[in-house]
Chain A
């Protein structure tokens, strides 16, 4: 905190100070799990703030929503927006009709709820969900932040307990967010969220959202255990990503802020799920509905992830999705992941994946393209030409057709 005199205050510094205050808040709070039955909504339909501080907060956040609503990074795929709205209607509790959801094309596992009741989901989150229950679980968790008025509670708690300096920093962050720090760069929304720090909740508030989210999920007939599974998937992905780059797990995601140790959080979620599961009741994870809903964008979601060349994370995601069955699309992207990783022997690994991918009826035309190219690289020219011919047959107007045609002459 020595660098305060400088005019340039990094977001990380803000984050650190907010985090310190939050940690102070959490001190003395036992890590006891919150019983889901105790989590009642604190707001009803049509809630509007009546007190000055909350009104001010709303006013500033409404400007952020205006920017997001007009962003050209929003995904406008047919049916997807309706589908998400429908899910929020299901698990959004009493204020379901007041909530808005925006899906932005950012290949990250992230979602955030803003104080006025709108939530932003990153497309990378949709990629990672195995079924509707998992997605509904995240929506329910985010809804719970709104229903339990977490932003204003955290804000007031901080003002009460922290030293004056920390409050000043927070006000600076808030003022900045309202007055144009947000520049329309949605990929940095997560950082904006941390500037607000209100989105970085204390351990208690996260535990509240977990408990209430799980209850909202179970009430709608989804298996509540799926929330713990989502969390496990996140941990597994971060671990494998870090392992591939030979370093410890470090990435911080505001989806489930990191105050409670991830492992203990998952344990609590499992206990909550057991408590909520009614013996004999049939739960539906809605996998078929989910796959149908995201079908128009699934290849795009995979493409956006794989081309980032984060091989550990990608491999984990693909293997997780493949637990429900391999198909041509997943095999193709498995091959792409090896090809981009580009270590010794990866070209052969990729070639094998492409060869398997094209045996599936749902193999995308690109699978034939890369299958052909890898065969040619291996010196298997006649087979390679046949595969590339197949690719051009499937996609005669492919943008690279002139180049591929020249390769198979």
Chain B
């Protein structure tokens, strides 16, 4: 789950300065991202496949934040937009890696959770890990996902960098495991600009096992 924005940017900055002699200008360093092909690709632990309508940048798994069920993509950089795929997250596992001694923790997922509990878990993730200061639920409604009873969750949040971001999550719990696709982007321009891609990805999502 891409929630450590500041850490990410700091790393990207280091990456950029390290290879500045090469001319750069591409924005985020390829050390940390690879372009996704425009065809069906497996995401997360491989339990879900999606088809992006254009190439996105897949974040490599080199941050401590990452867990195998979660994969992050971005189009314009993680401060502006990001997609998160959660694939078959099992009972008692977490969206992010965290130390047991951390004061503030993202609640772990449990198979028995109701959907409002899942969305509350996402809200805490934004508050605990992304520094969200204000968080508003815009809507929570039923929506089928990959042929299962699911939900659509819309929200917006003001982060400590004083930027309002907006997000949409579409997901379902299937056989006790959580499947989710989330878009989170700067509220002005970037959210509306990437929403069509998000919807295409959700429509294309397929359960693989």
Contact = CB atoms under 8 A, between A and B. Distances in A.
Contacts of B124: 307-309, 340
A295 B25 CA distance: 51
Interface string A341-372: 11000000000000000000000000001000
Interface stretch (A82-90, A160-168, A181-189, A255-263): A181-189
Interface of A: 71-73, 105-106, 183-188, 241-242, 245-247, 251, 304, 307-310, 312-313, 339-342, 369, 373, 376-377, 399-400, 402-404, 406-407
A245 B127 contact: no
Nearest to B164: A72
14 contacts: A183-B161, A187-B160, A241-B103, A307-B123, A310-B105, A313-B103, A340-B107, A340-B124, A377-B112, A399-B137, A400-B116, A402-B141, A403-B115, A406-B142
Sort chain B's interface into a size bin: 35 or more
Nearest to B133: A105
B138 A399 contact: yes
Nearest to B163: A72
B110 A187 contact: no
Contacts of B131: 187
Nearest to B132: A307
Given A187-B133, A376-B114, A400-B140, A309 B107 contact: yes
A304 B132 CA distance: 10
Nearest to B137: A399
Contacts of B101: 245-247
Interface in B151-201: 151, 154, 158, 160-162
Contacts of A400: 116, 119, 137, 139-141
B160 A185 contact: yes
A186 to B, nearest CB: 7
Contacts of B141: 400, 402-403
Contacts of B102: 245
B104 interface: yes
B107 A251 contact: no
Given A308-B124, A309-B124, A339-B117, A73 B133 contact: yes
Contact of A310 (B104, B137, B158): B104
**10 nearest interchain CB pairs?**
A187-B160, A400-B140, A402-B141, A403-B140, A308-B104, A399-B137, A310-B104, A310-B103, A247-B101, A342-B107
B117 A309 contact: no
B142 A188 contact: no
Contacts of B117: 339, 373
Contacts of A184: 161-162
Given A245-B103, A400-B140, A308 B127 contact: yes
Nearest to A403: B140
Contacts of B112: 377
B120 interface: yes
B160 A188 contact: yes
Given A187-B131, A245-B102, A373-B117, A399 B139 contact: yes
B41 interface: no
B49 interface: no
A402 B116 contact: no
Contact of B158 (A72, A185, A369, A407): A72
A72 B162 contact: yes
Contacts of B114: 373, 376-377, 407
